């Protein structure tokens, strides 16, 4: 009888993927089972992929945006909604604790360009498998469904979905696409829920700091009001409230000689050259 010895690290990765799959299945089923409550539309595309419309033709809700924020993290976070008071203006607010921050808020949540569309969420583990920063899941098995969060004003064309299927190596019927335009409650909520992603992204790409040293991260950000855009008026985008209104707390496994005060100052958006500008002006 031949027995294959399983490395401890491989077993850990396998166990993590089982938990991720289970959590993601629960979150997606929550959306599909409560489409009326969350003002969503669900349909099967010609290629067989499942589409959850969260703002193109549907209205969506803040709660749907909260759930989709957790899906964007691969289920590796907890998000909650509340209200924030910004100089006398009351706005909805989302608070997110990201688990395994580099994996959830960077490898999975950060957007990835696919033929003109920005894709994020669990499918990133397959689209950019070779670029995963969290190497312990570099040899991952397929999830039961390839879940993609897509920010778009339109329902994706069948040809685009087939291309996504080919690039991610998922059969079309195993794809679940969650689509919303920027000017929607759901999109505004899940964009606000990217405050931790912004920090991890800045550490990796702007500062060159090893984000794997971030052991815990929790942040909150106000959710931008949704309104029709008027080209004659300057209005805040969700990214503006994310940059100017978010707050994040990190716990680092840092060396004693590291200047954490300087690191904190560099991470603040106030130190960026574009500080003071609207997202629409960039």
Domains of the chain, CATH where assigned: 8-281 (3.30.1030.10)
- Rounded to an integer, the average pLDDT of 267-271 is 70
- Rounded to an integer, the average pLDDT of 66-75 is 97
Q: What pLDDT does residue 107 have?
A: 92
Q: Between these two residues, 230 and 186, which has the higher pLDDT value? A: 186
The percent of residues above 70 in pLDDT, for the chain, comes to: 80
Q: What pLDDT does residue 244 have?
A: 86
Supply the Cα-derived Rg of the chain in whole angstroms.
19
CB-based burial label for 107 (10 Å; 0-12, 13-18, 19+): buried
Site of tokens 């991890």: 200
Q: Give residue 21's pLDDT band: very low, low, confident or very high (50, 70, 90).
A: confident
**CA distances to 46, 155, 201, 241 from 198, in Å:** 36, 27, 5, 13
Q: What pLDDT does residue 237 have?
A: 78
Distance between CA 130 and CA 95 in Å, rounded? 31
pLDDT tens-digit readout, 120-157: 999 998 888 766 777 665 445 556 679 999 999 999 99
The CB-side HSE value for 63 (13 A sphere, CA atoms) comes to: 10
Mean pLDDT is lowest, of 119-123, 127-131, 193-197, 276-280, for: 276-280
Please say if the pLDDT value at position 8 is more than 70.
no
Q: What pLDDT does residue 5 have?
A: 37
Q: What pLDDT does residue 248 have?
A: 95
Q: Between these two residues, 87 and 132, which has the higher pLDDT value? A: 87
Please say if the pLDDT value at position 67 is more than 60.
yes
Distance between CA 69 and CA 194 in Å, rounded? 8
Query: Helix, strand, or coil here: 45?
Result: coil
Residue 77 neighbours by CB under 8 Å, 6+ apart: 69, 70, 96, 97, 98, 99, 104, 105, 196
90 forms beta bridges with 85
- Rounded to an integer, the average pLDDT of 172-189 is 95
Q: What pLDDT does residue 14 have?
A: 55
Tokens for 228, please give them: 């029709």
- Rounded to an integer, the average pLDDT of 209-226 is 94
pLDDT, averaged across the chain = 86
**Among 64, 7, 74, which Cα is nearest to 31's?**
64
- Rounded to an integer, the average pLDDT of 53-75 is 97
Distance between CA 176 and CA 24 in Å, rounded? 11
Please say if the pLDDT value at position 280 is more than 60.
no
**Among 274, 203, 204, 200, which Cα is nearest to 239's?**
274
Query: How far does Cα 261 stand from its chain's mean position?
Result: 28
**CA distances to 80, 122, 141 from 69, in Å:** 10, 11, 23
Query: Helix, strand, or coil here: 255?
Result: coil
Q: Give residue 276's pLDDT band: very low, low, confident or very high (50, 70, 90).
A: low
- Rounded to an integer, the average pLDDT of 212-236 is 81
Q: What pLDDT does residue 238 have?
A: 81
């Amino acid at each position: 009888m031949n027995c294959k010895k399983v490395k401890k690290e491989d077993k850990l990765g396998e166990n993590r993927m089982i938990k991720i799959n289970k959590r993601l299945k629960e979150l997606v089923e929550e959306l599909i089972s409560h489409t009326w409550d969350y003002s969503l539309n669900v349909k099967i595309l010609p290629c067989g992929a499942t589409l959850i419309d969260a703002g193109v033709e549907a209205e969506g809700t803040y709660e749907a945006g909260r759930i989709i924020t957790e899906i964007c993290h691969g289920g590796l976070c907890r998000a909650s909604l509340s209200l924030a008071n910004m100089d006398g203006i009351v706005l909805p607010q989302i608070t997110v604790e990201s688990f395994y921050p580099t994996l959830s808020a960077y490898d999975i949540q950060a957007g990835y360009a696919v033929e003109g569309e920005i894709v994020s969420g669990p499918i990133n583990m397959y689209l950019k498998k070779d670029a995963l920063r969290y190497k312990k899941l570099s040899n991952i098995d397929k999830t039961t469904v390839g879940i993609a969060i897509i920010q778009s004003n339109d329902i994706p064309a069948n040809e685009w979905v087939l291309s996504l299927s080919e690039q991610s190596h998922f059969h079309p019927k195993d794809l679940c696409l969650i689509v919303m335009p920027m000017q929607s409650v759901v999109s505004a909520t899940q964009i606000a829920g990217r405050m931790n992603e912004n920090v991890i992204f800045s550490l990796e790409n702007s500062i060159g700091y090893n984000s794997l040293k971030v052991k815990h991260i929790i942040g909150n950000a106000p959710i931008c009001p949704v309104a029709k855009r008027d080209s004659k008026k300057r209005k805040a985008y969700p990214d503006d409230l994310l940059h100017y209104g978010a707050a994040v707390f990190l716990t680092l496994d840092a060396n004693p000689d590291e200047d954490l005060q300087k690191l904190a100052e560099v991470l603040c958006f106030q130190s960026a050259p574009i500080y003071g500008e609207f997202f629409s002006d960039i």
